[in-house]
Structures are given as C-alpha cells and as structure tokens.
Amino acid sequence: MSCTDLAPGAFSMKLPKKFCNEHMPEGKKSFWVKVGNGEDFLVDYNGGTRAISGGWKAFAFHHKLEVGDALVFQLIPPSQFQVHIVRANASKEVANASEEVDAQRLLKLNAIQHEASSLAGGTEENNDTNDSLLDHEEDHNHNNVGNDDGGGNGWLGPDTCFENLSDSNTDLTGPIVDDFERVKRFQDFKIVANGSVINDKISELHLSKYYNLCLSQRSFLHRDLLDGFNIWTIAGTIIDICDIADANRSMSKVVPKKDLQTWGSKLKVYEKMGLNVGFLLVRLGKLELLADKANGYERLMKERDGMKEELQNLEEQVGRVKEKLERVEKEIDKLGVVGGGSIDRDFQELANAPW
C-alpha cells in the first residue's frame, strides 16, 4: 500500500498492468471484495485506468489499511475478489474473529451474493458505458451537503479516521421508527441497519432523495435487507439507488440501451441484497422497450437512407447509359445504313466488280 492508495479525497488503487491485461475486463465492472469470512464490499473497477475506485474507500477504512500493508488479490470468477492482508506491523492487525459472522447466515449470503454477482457482471459489452453512469462517486463530492463525506463514493465523512470506524452503533436522538406509516415528515425519517441508525453516513441531500423514494412506495426500501452487510456497504447502496433514480428521471432523450442495462444490473444486485427496487427495475424495463423501438427506428431510417442513396446512384447510372445510347443512335443514323445486310451486299458487289 502506498500513500496514493490511501490519499484522502482520492481513494483508488491501481492493479498490476499484466494482471489486468490477462484477467480483467477492458471496460467498467462491479466486483465483490472480501477478506476471509468478513463482510462483502461492492467496488467499481475501471479498465481504462486499471484501478479500483468506488467502494475502495469504505473497504480500506473498514479494514484499517495503512501505508506499507500488502494485499494479495485472488480473483474468483466472475465477479469476486478474495483479499489477503499482510500487515506492515503485525501488532496492529485486526483480529479475524471480529469479522466472522454466523455460519448459517454466511452460507445464505454467499449464495445470494454469488447469484447477484453474476447478474452484476452481465455481458462484457455492458461494461464500457458512459462515465456518468458508473463514476457517480465523483458527483457525490460536489452534491453532498450537511454531514456528508468529502470524496470517493460518498460513504465516509471527511473527518473520519480509522479509530472512528469501530463506532458502528451510532444512534440519533429520538425514537427509531420501524413502520414507515408512522413517518409523518422528513425529520422523523431514520434509516436503521444492523440495529443502528445510519443517517449520519449519508448526506442530507441523498437522505431527502431516499425519503422521497420510500414515500413513493409507502415503505422502507431496505425493510427486507439481508443481515450481514456492513453499514458502509448499505449506505453506499442507498446512495447509488438514489443516483440511479435521479439519472432515470432526468433523461431528456433516449439513451443507449447498454446504459439502461448497466443501471439494471446494479439494481438486480441490490434486489438480491433484499432492497425493494422492483419499481425501478419495472421503469427501466419499460424504458428499454422504448429504447429498442428508438434503436429499431434509427436502424430502419439509416437503412432507408442507404437504399435511397443507392437508388439515386442507380438512376444516375441509368441516365448516363441513356445518354450514351442516344449518342450511338445518332451516329448510326449518320451512317445512312439500313440494316447490316446492305453493307455486306455493297461490299461484295464492289469487291467482285470487273476492273
């Protein structure tokens, strides 16, 4: 681990060039990253820069990575990394026991996450999409207000340090509302995960957006969230859902279908995690149908234009042939010959005439 891998406000880590060229996709793709039997983290990989960015900040903070630590990445196809941490100072290594979860819950999580990772991986042609769809963490740096973070993917605050991460039981004043019907105003809206209120892990702006999404469904979207995900992953997932919903509603024209499929792949992962994003997937499905129509219309229009151009070229070619034909007809008339047989007779008579 170098200083640039843990630089505040610019959390990303480059992977070896040879490894990326041989095993990693050229475009963008989401991967699950975990250490031992600990929590899974969803990170974004950019093939152009050969770097892991979105989600890396939360992973580094949670595992208290320091300059000098060595990481061994083991790729488990299609979309998972098993990470082994070799501490620069063994005395600072966090006990593995603190990262273990109940075996039965772990098996359930592994099954769900394996299936979800397959959905998130999708086809390779969907990986190289518009930067505005996958690099949403840059937007968080400009849009987050209140007690939001200062960079990366919007999961950690600017003053958060390694010691603060162990305080995962942060609570807010006021009662915790489990039933959304009891939420009468935004001030009463609290996101409870793993028995703790995580409002302070999300910006006021995204809290407001998430509240409106829940309000539209009359339910907490995270109500059926599976146990075992850490609060940083949950917070980042909520932020991403809000960004996808925003981008969905802000479209003023038809976007490429592969961009919609990228959103859909992410939402399918979140749905497998237990989040109620079915209504967003339904909207995306309808938009994909319209995108198909738009793509079909564009394809047929191009085909028609090509045929018109080809027909025009043929008509011009026919016109040139007609001009040549008229010129030849005029030259034939100038010869004053009626049929080819008369020339043969004249030729024979002249040839056989006496001297």
31: left (phi over 0), alpha (psi -120 to 50) or beta: beta
Rounded Cα distance, 110 and 37, in Å:
10
pLDDT less than 50: residues of the chain: 90-103, 116-178
DSSP H stretches of helix in the chain = 17-23, 56-62, 103-121, 131-134, 136-143, 162-165, 204-217, 231-249, 257-272, 278-335, 339-352
| Backbone φ and ψ of 34, nearest 5° | -145, 155
DSSP-derived letter for residue 27 is S
In sequence order, the 6+-apart residues with CB closer than 8 A to the CB of 291 are: 254, 255, 256, 257, 260
Residue 83 pLDDT:
83
Please tell me the pTM assigned to this model. Answer: 0.44
Amino acid at 58: A
Rounded Cα distance, 26 and 46, in Å:
8
In DSSP terms, which residues pair with 215 in a beta bridge?
A: none
Residue 314 pLDDT:
95
- The alpha carbon of 209 is separated from its chain's Cα centroid by a whole number of angstroms, namely 20
- The residue among 15, 20, 41, 18 whose CA lies nearest residue 30 is 41
- The residue among 11, 36, 157, 29 whose CA lies nearest residue 93 is 36
Residue 156 pLDDT:
30
Residue 48 pLDDT:
84
Rounded Cα distance, 320 and 293, in Å:
40
Judge if the upstream peptide bond of residue 78 is cis by omega within 30 degrees of 0. Answer: yes
Domain 3-276 has CATH 2.40.10.10: no
Amino acid at 324: K
Residue 114 pLDDT:
54
Provide the terminal-to-terminal Cα distance of the chain, rounded to the nearest Å: 114
- The residue among 138, 141, 245 whose CA lies nearest residue 203 is 141
- Here the contacts of 218-221 (C-beta below 8 Å, separation 24 or greater) are 218/180, 218/181, 219/180, 219/276, 220/180, 220/191, 220/276, 221/275, 221/276, 221/277
What the block records as the tokens of 13 is: 């880590």
Residue 188 pLDDT:
85
Q: What is the pLDDT of residues 162-204, one digit of tens each?
A: 223 233 333 333 444 447 878 888 988 999 888 889 999 999 9
Residue 350 pLDDT:
85
Residue 248 pLDDT:
86
Evaluate whether 39 touches 180 at the Cβ level (below 8 Å): no
In sequence order, the 6+-apart residues with CB closer than 8 A to the CB of 11 are: 5, 53, 56, 57, 60, 151, 152
Residue 106 pLDDT:
53
Residue 327 pLDDT:
92
